[in-house]
Amino acid sequence: MSVKVVATNRKAKHDYDILDTYEAGIVLRGSEIKSIRAGNISLKEAYVNIEDGREAWLISAHVAPYDHASQFNHDPNRPRKLLLHGSEIRRLWDEVRQKGVTIIPLRVYLKNGMAKVEIAMAKGKKLYDKRAAIAKRDAEREIERQLRQRGY
For 1-49, the pLDDT digits (tens) are 688 899 898 888 888 888 999 999 999 887 888 888 888 888 988 999 9
Q: Cα(30)–Cα(146) distance, rounded to whole angstroms?
A: 52
Q: Cα(78)–Cα(29) distance, rounded to whole angstroms?
A: 11
CB 108 within 8 A of CB 7: yes
Q: CATH number, domain at 42? A: 2.40.280.10
150 lies in some domain = no
Instruction: State the total domains in the chain.
Output: 1
Q: Report in angstroms the alpha-carbon separations of 2 from 51, 58, 111, 115, 120.
A: 32, 24, 6, 12, 22
In this predicted model, which residue has the larger pLDDT, 34 or 104? 104
The reported pLDDT for the residue numbered 74 is: 67
CB 63 within 8 A of CB 40: yes
